[in-house]
Copies of this chain bind each other. A is one copy, B any other.
């Protein structure tokens, strides 16, 4: 049964207003296991192109590993020190139309019939050929990375909806983080590269500045 339990627009907008990029978390408050599983579930249920789920989530709780990451992540200093839960989102890099990962996903996870798989794979081949290149690893990584930002957004929104704070982070040396995670043995399972980081916890103080945004007229055009 997928019965949606109604939520009001006001509730949702109030959560978006509540959310802000939390730099420093209250180190006396930990997210409960139930609550953090709920945030992971929001990531897991996120949509992705063709339903590929080209992501993995590494939850970094070990202080030693957090310290190693601090050395190469100028934009995550206080978050690595204070977050209740610190997540590194990885992107799957073998997502060419004919890759093992993609075939496994369509066959064993999505359990699509053979003819649908052939159709999907062929449609994806066309799109990948038109918009990128089938031999361009960067193109495939970027494609996956974009999908991970949907999961990132959903995890932060799901957190905000129940009053949990978060912070997305890109201020790090991507290659250095990859090396650290490789050394930790975290890349054994597949073709992975770091995409983005997200910290979760409870704010230690209210944001110093009010939220600012462009006006709706500045960002929306009707045609």
Give A residues with C-beta under 8 Å from B. 2-19, 21, 34-35, 37-38, 40-47, 49, 51, 53, 55-62, 65, 74-75, 105, 109-111, 123, 126-127, 130-131, 142, 145-147, 149-154, 156-158, 160-163, 168, 170-175, 184, 186, 196, 211-214, 216, 219-223
Contact = CB atoms under 8 A, between A and B. Distances in A.
A160 B158 CA distance: 12
Given A44-B219, A59-B221, A219-B55, A149 B142 contact: no
A13 B147 CA distance: 19
B21 A47 contact: yes
A141 B137 CA distance: 17
Nearest to A3: B14
Name the residue among A16, A17, A53, A147 with the largest chain B CB count within 10 angstroms: A16
A152 B154 contact: no
Contacts of A3: 14
Contacts of A211: 2, 45
Contacts of A142: 142, 145-146
A214 B53 contact: yes
Given A127-B172, A157-B158, 8 more contacts: A5-B10, A12-B38, A49-B168, A53-B213, A142-B142, A142-B146, A150-B150, A153-B157
Contacts of A131: 173-175
Most chain B CB inside 10 Å of its own CB: which residue of A4, A46, A53, A156 = A4
Given A7-B162, A40-B220, A223-B59, A109 B213 contact: yes
Contact of A171 (B123, B174, B196, B219): B123
Contacts of A173: 130-131
Contact of A149 (B53, B60, B149): B149
B40 A216 contact: yes
A49 B154 contact: no
A147 B21 CA distance: 14
B41 A216 contact: yes
Nearest to A169: B49
